[in-house]
Structure 1
Amino acid sequence: MAIEVSLIIPIYNGEQYIMNILLDLRKQTFNDVEFLLIDDGSSDNSVSVIQKFITEQKDKRFKLIIKKNGGVSSARNTGLDSANGNYIMFADSDDRLDEKFVEAYYCSITAHNSEMEFFSAIKVDDAEKLEEIGRIDYTPVATSDSISVRKMITLFSDLQAWGYPCSVISEKKLWKNVRFDPAVKFQEDVQAFFKIWLGNPDIKISLNAKAYYYYVQRKNSALHTMKPGDYWQFVGVDTEIIKNISEHKSLNDLVPTVKSLLISSLINVMAVSLIFKDEVSYSKSRKLFLREFKKTNFSKNMKLRRIIQYILVKLNCKVILTKVYGRIYEVN
């Protein structure tokens, strides 16, 4: 039976924190929604905790799906395959939700008559206190009018928009031929969004400054334990996106703009390579950075920053680069 919203939540070994989001889901003010809890082969007691909760609550919005372990992309894909909603939303099992999370997303996208809508999110480092330490913030670019795919890609390339699945609601039809790539561990969400945009270049997208999602930042998360090889996946996704845009009839003129994403990823690779003293990775990324830099269009907001980076890389100022970026990247 068709419903309005399918909210997909991948779960893997979340026994210690899963109760928080289960309670947040129960408190959701929107009823025409299904909560698709996709257990990705947990080896702890996650399934038992969820089953007990569903039995006790008798809330028909909850649906538990158990599958073999395949990673977060595989779990999200299972959710997409099982979804009955007209709209798709995502959440991570270790994050927190405002009680109007689903209602606000749904009411806003339908009011704007858009196919996709992106929201801000609140960053916290304590899942209980929920004290804000930062934001995924769309305030500078949010507007009451919808924007085009072309504009969204431009904002994304300028790092004014991001690929967080938890920050977006989209029409289910957009996912008909799109799935997350299980082979891609990092940037799989960005890869999927670009597939949607290139496959549906005429859709309307809304950007919303309001936040109803608490993004819990944990020191042991994947993003805080990444090595140079992990950051090369960013480069791989960017390269694929650039290739796909170059072959797109109506958007191929955006290639020099989208290359800004590649430049950003290469800066990440160089910085982490220096921190880990990986000279081979550093040299390879530096060579590619210097080659692609002059082929890239930067916005006025980004140009000075990139020129300074270019000078430091061109002069091979390893000590300065290590000192500057060593404060930014938390590596173990």
Structure 2
Amino acid sequence: MNSVSLIVPIYNNYSTLRALFRMIRQQTYPNLEVILIDDGSTDGSGALCDRWQASHQELPIYVVHQDNQGLSAARNQGIATATGTWLTFVDADDQITPDYVAYLYGLTQKHACLLATCNHQVVRGQKSRPAFTVNAATGAVTSHNFLENLLYQQHFDVSSWGKLYHHSLFQAVTYPVGQLFEDTATTFELVLKAQKVAYGNKVQYHYIIRPQSITTTTFDAHQLDYLTATKLMIQGILQVYPDLKIAAAQRLTYAYISVLTKSFNGPQNDTAVKTLQLQLRQTILQRKQTLLGPRVAKRTKISVQILQYFGVDGLRFFWDRYNWYRNR
């Protein structure tokens, strides 16, 4: 079996690392190396990595300590350090099943693909749900099919974790340092290079949404990186698959809606925030024709209707109650 490098970017994850280390040791895949990138942690995470490496010399573990540069820089360092033929990423506060690596590797071999993805479960407090469903338990799709579904937010997503990549895919591809939403700006490139993607319906990865995650953090200007990353993704996809123009247009509209709802996190009396919200509302309503297709997510269509008839305050009211319902 080919070697697999499991890369874990770490920044102040002391409270979750021990549990993740146990899950890594339980991996059934026999030819595994572990790359731990301590991205300037200040809570003792780096020292914990060193102790774990020293006490488990039967498992190839490499620990890299670097000044805090962000998730993208940590992943890039992990890729540069890895010696495996295959790579996979696991966030330090998430969870994986014992056959996570073996399952993904099996998909690549069964379907002769350079990239494979599994299903994942989104965990919010006491609630969890599988993220996607596909018609078959396993299979393979062309990069065109994968990206079309990704643009429509069906079956597949942009997350870097929950996937296994052939190391060669990262030649000339790096994660954008200093930007949020780095997966949106990068995964599509890897899919295009792979040409074909194997998929499995089995939940092998548990994505834990915590209070300090990007999805729940207080809004600031960096959240606008999502629009930049989405536009970059769309431009790259349409250069290869111009027939996906309709799917791409609705995905960009969704991105504007996503940034608007993110702006609801935090004080609402800031003049700059209010101005941005009104600008986003105007842009979204100008683009509402992009949401007429049958594959557009119902939640997206409803958001636009609320925004049109009840304004920003109306959408914030309904969004707050939606979040209360899904987080209770």
- Scaled by the length of structure 1, the TM-score of the pair is 0.87
1:150 alignment counterpart: 144
Correspondence for 1:205: 197
- TM-superposed CA distance for 1:302, in Å, is 2.1
Aligned partner of 1:59 in structure 2 is 58
Which region of structure 1 is more displaced relative to structure 2, 162-171 or 263-272?
263-272
Given that 2:94 and 2:208 are in contact with CA atoms closer than 8 Å, whether structure 1 keeps it comes out as yes
Q: What is the match of residue 115 of structure 2?
A: 116
Kindly indicate whether the alpha-carbon contact (under 8 Å) linking 2:115 and 2:191 is maintained by their aligned counterparts in 1. Answer: no
Q: Which residue of 1 aligns with 2:237?
A: 245
Cα–Cα, structure 1 residues 141 and 212, in superposed 2: closer, same or farther, change >3 Å?
same
The one-letter code of the counterpart of 1:324 is F
Q: C-alpha distance in 1, partners of 2:136/2:248?
A: 21
* Residue number in structure 2 paired with 1:312: 306
Residue deviations 1:20-62, cap 9 Å, x none?
A: 1112111211121111011111123222222222222222321
Equivalent residue, structure 2, for 1:29 = 28
Which whole-Å deviations, capped at 9, do the CAs of 1:154-208 have from their partners, x for residues lacking one? 11111112122221111111111111101211x211211122234x2x7111221
Structure 2 unpaired stretches of 5+: none
Letter in 2 for 1:224: T
The 5-angstrom pairing of residues 157-306 of structure 1 reads 157-160=151-154, 161-185=156-180, 187-198=181-192, 200=193, 203-227=195-219, 229-246=221-238, 248=239, 250-273=240-263, 276-277=267-268, 278-294=273-289, 296=290, 299-302=293-296, 306=300
Give, in angstroms, the shift of residue 289 of structure 1.
1.5
Q: Point out the more displaced range, 102-111 or 44-53.
A: 44-53
Q: Cα gap change, 1:141/1:188 in structure 2, threshold over 3 Å: closer, same or farther?
A: farther
On the 8 A contact 1:124/1:217 being kept in 2, the answer is yes
Kept in 1: contact 2:119–2:203 (CA 8 A): yes
Which deviations, in whole Å up to 9, do the C-alpha atoms of 1:84-108 show, x marking residues without a partner?
A: 1111100011122211111111122
From the superposition, tell whether residues 271 and 65 of structure 1 become closer, same or farther in structure 2 (CA, over 3 Å).
closer
Q: Contact 1:94/1:216 (CA < 8 Å) preserved in 2?
A: yes
Percent identity between the two aligned chains: 21
**What is the distance in 2 between the residues matched to 1:92 and 1:306?**
28
Work out the number of aligned pairs and report it: 319
1:248-269 per-position Cα deviation (integer Å, ceiling 9, x unaligned):
1x41221221122211121123
Classify 1:270/1:16 alpha carbon distance in 2 versus 1 (closer, same or farther; 3 Å).
closer
* Match in the other structure for 2:72: 73
Q: Counterparts of 2:19 and 2:299 in 1: how far apart (Å)?
A: 40
The one-letter code of the counterpart of 1:317 is G
The one-letter code of the counterpart of 2:260 is: M
Which structure 1 segments of 5+ residues have no match? none
Q: Judging changes above 3 Å, is the alpha-carbon distance between structure 1 residues 310 and 96 closer, same or farther for their aligned structure 2 residues? A: closer
Per-residue deviation, 1:270: 2.7
TM-score by length of 2: 0.88
SS in 1 for 2:206: strand
What is the aligned-residue RMSD (CA, Å)? 2.5
Q: Tell me the residue number matched to 1:324.
A: 318
Q: Which of 139-148 and 77-86 deviates more?
A: 139-148
Structure 1, 73-82 or 317-326: larger mean CA deviation: 317-326
Please tell me the residue identity of whatever aligns with 1:281. Answer: L
SS at match of 1:17: helix
CA distance in 1, matches of 2:287, 2:219: 23
Q: Per-residue deviation at 1:273?
A: 3.7
Task: State how far apart, in whole Å, the 1-side matches of 2:118 and 2:4 are.
Answer: 16
Task: Please give the alpha-carbon distance, in whole angstroms, between the structure 2 residues aligned to 1:148 and 1:119.
Answer: 16
Give yes or no for contact 1:10–1:40 (8 Å, CA) kept in 2: yes
SS in 2 for 1:206: strand
Q: 1:11 touches 1:38 (CA, 8 Å); kept in 2?
A: yes
Secondary structure, in 3 states, of the residue corresponding to 1:165? coil
- CA distance, structure 2, for counterparts of residue 47 and residue 279 of structure 1: 41
Contact between 1:21 and 1:94, CA under 8 Å: does it hold in 2? yes
Measure the CA separation in 2 of the matches of 1:164 and 1:85.
21
